[in-house]
Amino acid sequence: MTSTERLLTAADFREPDRVPIELQIGASARELPELERIVEFIDIQADNFIGIGCVDWGFFGLGSEYSEEVIEDIPGQYRRIRRIYRTREAGDFFAITRHAYPRLDAPDFRWERRFIDTIDEMARLAEAPRTSRQFDADAYNRGVEQIGERGVAMTSVMHPLGTLVRQANMVEVYGWLMLEPEIMHRFLESTNTQARDTVLAMGRAGIEPWFGTWALEMLIPPWMGRRLFDEWVFPYDKMVNDAIHIIGGRHRSHCHGESMGFLVRMAEMRLDATEPLEPPPFGDVDLAEAKRLVGDHMMLSGNIPSQDFVTCTPEQVRQWVKDAIAAAAPGGGFSLRTTGGHAGIDPYLDRDTLAHIIDNVEAYIEAGLEYGEYPIRL
């Protein structure tokens, strides 16, 4: 089977030739000679959902112009940057971030101010007029053609609440759900309606993609409980998911953390797949129980705790892979995936630590190939 066929067969809850093995690393890591075998596996054998552009969702669904300026720079210590989104419908929104030397471009930095810091800014977002977003069908089709048989194309769909809790003042935003419900429901109604209408327009243009969101991990414990989830997440997500299914698409959600108690609810709101299904202590997922509960409704991916690749042994990795395959692979609907981004491979790590992680990533690959052949016999 090709990688595309393998992933789609598993996603249809059928057994492919082997368990799909997901693995991606950063562009800078690909240049390291010690990663040659891993890069070769990714390029030739790995089975990945690969992101491609299609819709410009703007700033919370509003057309915007983005700019940034350095407002303070102390060489060797830190740099502060003001980031500005200018919208016609709702005015300007700005944030300030602080970045430490020497890795000014690192994805981890300190927010000094987020884009939505006050309830007045929140109200501007909620009251802004919205229309269906434009999309580029040709760009999407070119992306699919470029991927070919090396994976499954996936494009993003706006998740307004998941984006908001990252882009707003996190001390305030969860409180606004309780203290300013009219504003918050107005925001979610208008933005999710916009997402739904955009998805339906894509379907009329003949686009039936996999969609991806990176949101729900901020909408479960410790951030939100079941009652809040049912009010603020379920109805809006289901509205968009229903539209995705109307056009023949599917939705895969990224969700770290304690998702075990929400898997059934996610399936009920018509999610088609979820990852990375973190086991304790990083999350609370019992993979065998997850398979029993939702394994015929949602494709399950992950459960290999690569956060531990810095300290564990290759033998432990092999056992984790073997256990995950035994728990979730029979009948299809499962792919192996590490629970940490890029499997912990960071080219800036010291050589000994990086070499240890590489050994464990290679063990992950080898065990997946060894134990993942169908029919599963473990």
Would you state the pLDDT for residue 156? 97
pLDDT of amino acid 27: 93
Task: Return the closest-CA partner of residue 66 out of 47, 81, 80.
Answer: 81
Domains and CATH numbers, the chain: 3-62+116-371 (3.20.20.210)
Q: What is the pLDDT of residue 106?
A: 84
What is d(CA 4, CA 49) in angstroms, rounded to the nearest whole number? Answer: 9
Q: Six-digit token pair at 180? A: 């300013």
In sequence order, which ranges of 107-255 are alpha helices (DSSP H)? 119-127, 137-147, 160-167, 170-179, 181-204, 226-232, 234-246
Q: In what order do the strands lie in the sheet with 334-335?
A: 48-51, 151-156, 210-214, 250-255, 273-276, 299-301, 334-335
Q: What is the mean pLDDT of each run of 10 residues along the chain (378 residues)?
A: 98 98 95 97 98 96 97 97 98 97 89 97 98 96 96 98 96 96 98 98 96 98 96 98 98 98 98 98 98 97 98 98 98 97 93 97 98 96
> What is the structure's pLDDT at 107?
82
Residues making up the chain, counted from first to last? 378
Q: What is the pLDDT of residue 312?
A: 98
Q: How many helices (H) and strands (E) does the chain have?
A: 13, 11
Provide the pLDDT for residue 121: 98
What is the per-residue pLDDT for 11?
98
